[in-house]
Amino acid sequence: MEVEKEWYIFIEADYEDKGVFANFYCKSEGIGDSIQLIKPLAKKEGFKNLKFIEATRIDNIQNFEYPAKMIDLSPTVKMMQSLSLFEKDPNEYSFTPPTGIIFNTLEGEHEIDKIKEQFVAYAKNENEIYSFELVIDENNLEHVFYLTTKFLNSINGFWIWIHNHWEEKPKQLFYNKDFVSVETVLDFLKLNSKNTIENGFIDIVVHSIQGETNLTLNEHKKITLHTKDEKVFNEFIDKIIALGYEQTRDMYDIEFGYHHWHYKPANTFNRNEFCDFLADNNFEEIKNAK
């Protein structure tokens, strides 16, 4: 017998003229489904500009009991009656996880407020590869990834990795040889953003033969660049700086030092459907890829 899943979701939002932290409990298949169910109900309660910060699964917590004074917003969604209101500081920044990944409620190695929109750049390693990593939050991720794709001088390949923690199946790699221009890549991603950009179980890799360069949006929604061409590397960084992002030596991101969940948005493909979708768009699976 299938066990019904239930999730705790912690949000930050605007409420009247203040900020608010609120706690929701939702019965649904996945985190993405819970988010979709909570959004209209939270807005009906007067919350605006919702940010989904933390989640955890509660149906498998032994002897779990709801907090006192709960409000039933629907047959599947509850909300704690007590709200935590605070004065908003327009100069204070807080990182919002991009769609597809969310913090767990378990305390991690680092404080969440250490995560900033910044980048690190590494000189070439023993394999002659220069590396770059950029952390972007929910508000800017999709737009910036599209821009960085345009930064490549040429495109000669397009890969999608499916990670093994999506439905607990082996990792898979798909390649499309027809994606050989910025326009074809961006058209595909923009048309299918919920199943690609917002999917927390896949890596998207855009390849350029110049410098054997790979631009990646990974499963943790971090933008990375690996290249053997120093000119490509330096020009890419200059364009990132021109967008307003700063370099750091001490970068924090949700991938390391933070407990977190991966999820896909509601009403998007399951894994088998996604593989069929890729095949329908002329992607070929590369067997035994590592």
Q: How far apart are CA 200 and CA 272, in angstroms?
A: 16
Contact 76, 28 (CB under 8 A): yes
Q: What percent of the chain has pLDDT over 90?
A: 91
Which is more confident, 192 or 68?
A: 192
Mean pLDDT of the chain: 95
Contact 113, 93 (CB under 8 A): no
| Mean pLDDT of the region 69-96 | 93
Is pLDDT of 2 > 70? no
DSSP 1-67: -PPPPEEEEEEEEEETTEEEEEEEEEESSSHHHHHHHHHHHHHHTTEEEEEEEEEEE-TTSTT--PP
Q: State pLDDT tens for residues 109-129.
A: 999 999 999 999 999 999 999
How many Cα atoms occupy the beta-carbon half-sphere of 104 within 13 Å? 15
Q: pTM here? A: 0.94
Looking at residue 264, its pLDDT comes to 98
| Mean pLDDT of the region 123-141 | 96
Contact 213, 229 (CB under 8 A): yes
| Mean pLDDT of the region 146-153 | 95
Tokens coding 106: 């378990």
Is pLDDT of 1 > 50? no
Is pLDDT of 237 > 90? yes
Q: State pLDDT tens for residues 238-262.
A: 999 999 999 999 999 999 999 999 9
Is pLDDT of 288 > 50? yes
Q: What per-residue string of b and e applies to 161-187 under the rule 16 or more CB within 10 Å gives b?
A: bbbeebeeeeebbbbbeebbebeebbe
3-state SS assignment for residue 209: coil
Q: How far apart are CA 97 and CA 94, in angstroms?
A: 10
Q: What are phi and psi of 80, to 5 degrees?
A: -65, 135
Domain boundaries, the chain: 6-92, 113-253+264-285
| Mean pLDDT of the region 35-62 | 96
Q: State pLDDT tens for residues 21-31.
A: 999 999 999 99
